[in-house]
Structure 1
Amino acid sequence: MPPSDLEFYDSVPISDNFLRLSDPAQFTPLPDTWFLGVADIVDSTGEVARGRYKTVNMVGAAVISGMINALGGRVFPYVFGGDGAGFVVPGQDAETARETLASLQNWAESEFAITLRAALVSVVDIRAGGRDLRVARYAPSSGVDYAMFTGGGLAWAEAQMKSGHFIIQQAGPDAQPDLTGLSCRWSNSPARHGQIVSLVIQPTSEASEADFSALAQSVLSAAEGLERAGHPVPSKGPPMRWPPPGVDIDAHVSRAGRNLIVQKIRLTIGNMLIGLLFKTGIRLGQFEPNHYKEMVSRNADFRKFDDGLKMTLDCDPATLEQITRMLEQAQAQGKIRYGLHAQQEAMMTCFVPSATRDDHVHFVDGASGGYTQAAAAMRA
């Protein structure tokens, strides 16, 4: 592959101003030689209705952690969607992506009885379908940055996958992804200013990029008036209680063929020791608990552009009314579709390659369905 393709993502500018990314000019077209991987849970709305929203988020985040580990930690663009995820890799990594997605399907079925649907689409096919795929990078802190997408290509690929095109077949029972670093040991963060609002906004075919950019700027400007722009995770980090609420799910994720009960016991004991460190603030080697908790909050991925705008906000009633009024007006004009789901808590699913570095990533969603429920409301 040409060096320009291998080095492409490193050359994409990193912005620390999220509002600025409502401008489509800030996005860079992906090379034709790259491939987009998409995955989502079949009947995720039903899974949420059965109380499995934490499991839904874990399986969605596993798509990203599985790819990060498969690529040896090499940086590539990805986005978390609640009940699934999307990512883009150079053509030389397409087969690795295909194998990883196939093994993730087997893992989701065997560990959780969840059907994970997956597809791999070339950027050439996306553009032949009349859409584009452009990317930007947003850094919420000095430790991490997250990819943002526009151009309609991600939404188009997801629609194609749901129609049965570009589908990846599930791997055999022996195939297992490497999910090292994936966990959900934090407790939920309660709303402090009203409700935790998960919001999904998508432009229609009637909306120009300028139309959607103007609306996104208005919505984001309203959210900027909230404490920390509506960040749902406390600045000193989320709460941690013992026993951790996700230990059963963590055991399924990390057991790698080991006995499930034994793995659950190991995790429970390990989390008790970690909880003591966080409670006392005692430093252990290079691990500094208070700094880590602050970085968890700073690194949290609570808003994103992915052919639309998604946010999970700690929102007061007046701001929620203001944002809803904007969205209702734009929807009445045929410019957008939107869905909103309010709940009392936010939750996180985490990927931590090393607890002594600042590059750990934390995916935020509402704790009672979040983006999945908001998307269902949008479709309805």
Structure 2
Amino acid sequence: MSQHGVPDLPVLTRFEQVADGSLYARLPDDWQIGIADVVDSTGAIANGHYKSVNFAGAATISAVSNSSGGRLPLFAFGGDGAQFVVRPEQAQAASSALAQVSHWVKGQLELDLRVGMTSIAAIRAAGFDVRAAYWRASDHVQYSLFTGGGLEWAEKQLKGGHFAIRPTGDEGDPDLSGLSCQWGPVMSTRGKIISLIVKPASGSKPAAFEKATRKIIKALGKAKAVNPVPDAGPDVRWPGASIDLQSKTITGSGFDALKKAWTIVRTLFYWSLFKAAAPLRGLAPTRYRADISANSDFRKFNDGLMMTVDCSPGSIDGLKTILERAERDGVIRFGLHVQDEALITCVVPSVFERNHMHFIDGSGGGYASAAKQLRANGRS
């Protein structure tokens, strides 16, 4: 076991390995899976609330992490929700945090966030599995990878009304320390931002799915599809559109106007530092911005391939050809959404450390719209 009570999991350093199930480690039966999912996220996105939808998913990770002493090693951000794994002794705190964040999302973001938990043993009893590994995104951050179909099954069960946690309103506020949305949208520099989800087709053999996934990743690499966040990091712009949303992370009693005023003062301080690229007590703004790019989760594997990348319109046509052929062969099911911008939602325990995490999604529908494609086409 590692220092945080997590089994010593494999760490992958070549992304084309992510579909190789033999590289993942089995998680214990008595560990708990937590799921959060925004109800009708595509409708909320269509009404212009795409940032709030992403914020709700990231808030789940922040709240559960803070309930576990500030560290949540095993989690996945899904755009309109999140999944995580905790040890048995963390389950009660995680369950309370889920109830708190669901109530907060309803009151502050005016969205419905369904949440629930179940055991890995229950998932295995249903014929699925939960195995995990890490993807080393940078020297400072690694993200969880999951395979076995268990998390996807658990999310479907939650949507069907099973093992839901329903907040009563008496849970108190979640601890959202470190949750941030103060970087603006990132425009495509190559043409378009695509959000892609690729899952195994029913009955697909693991070796065939792994081969197809490698081919997709290789094709995107040849097309020079890249992280939407430039190597130097996002542009430094005044995040006026995010001030109100950011102020909502200040929980507890107090006037909303005071919370917003404090958010403006704090934002102005850091915006000035980054605009001037002025180092302060170990905070190097230029290095921090570069770390945003390096630490981002623009590619991951959560019971299937998930990528949000910047690519040329021509390469999208070639990618669709590969995806549609693999689908016709009964190997994969997929959803693909195209947009002009990407969003960054962040969990930053400390601006003075380099392990800050940045969740990437498309701003025009992103993963939620790609997942809707899976359902609409009978692929899910």
TM (norm. structure 1) is 0.95
Please tell me whether residue 236 in structure 1 is matched to residue 232 in structure 2: yes
What amino acid maps onto 1:330 in structure 2? A
Distance 1:10 1:129, change over 3 A: closer
Residue identity in the other structure for 2:37: D
Letter in 1 for 2:279: R
Alignment of 1:99-138 (within 5 A): 99-138=96-135
- Counterpart amino acid of residue 89 in structure 2: Q
Q: What is aligned with 2:140?
A: 143
> Greater CA deviation, 189-198 or 310-319?
310-319
Structure 2: runs of 5+ lacking an equivalent: none
Unaligned runs of 5+ in 1: none
Aligned residue in 1 for 2:202: 205
Residue in 2 that maps onto 1:24: 21
Farther off after superposition, 277-286 or 167-176: 167-176
User: Residue 161 of structure 1 aligns with which residue?
Assistant: 158
1:10 to partner: Cα distance: 4.8
What SS does the aligned partner of 2:175 have? coil
Whole-Å Cα distance in 1 between the matches of residues 3 and 153 of structure 2? Answer: 25
2:212: which partner in 1? 215
2:269 aligned residue: 273
Q: Secondary structure at the match of 2:183?
A: coil
**Correspondence for 2:45 among 43, 48, 66:** 48
Paired residue type of 1:246: S
In the alignment, does 2:78 pair up with 1:88?
A: no
- 1:45 maps to a residue whose letter is T
Is the CA contact 1:47–1:53 (under 8 Å) kept in the aligned structure 2?
yes
Q: Please, what TM-score do these two structures have when normalized by structure 2?
A: 0.95
Aligned CA-pair RMSD: 1.5
How do 1:1-380 and structure 2 match up within 5 A?
Answer: 4=1, 9-173=6-170, 175-227=172-224, 229-380=225-376
Distance 2:42 2:154 in 1: 20
Pairwise CA distance, 1:258:
2.6
Deviation at 1:74, TM superposition (A): 3.2
1:242 partner letter: W
Question: Is contact 1:106-1:173 (8 Å) kept?
Answer: no
Identical positions, percent: 40
The 3 A distance-change label for structure 1 pair 255 and 100 is: closer
User: For 1:338, what is the secondary structure of its paired residue?
Assistant: strand
CA distance in 1, matches of 2:93, 2:223: 42
- Secondary structure of the equivalent of 2:122? helix
**CA distance in structure 1 between the aligned counterparts of 2:9 and 2:163, rounded to whole angstroms:** 28
Q: Is the 8 A contact 1:105 1:171 kept in 2?
A: no
Write the distance in 2 (CA, Å) between the matches of 1:132 and 1:326.
Answer: 28
**After the TM superposition, which segments of 4 or more aligned residues of structure 1 sit over 6 Å from their partners?**
none
Shift in Å at residue 324 of structure 1? 0.9
Query: Equivalents in 2 of 1:226, 1:72: separation in Å?
Result: 42
Cα offsets for 1:349-369 (capped at 9, x unmatched): 000000011110000000121
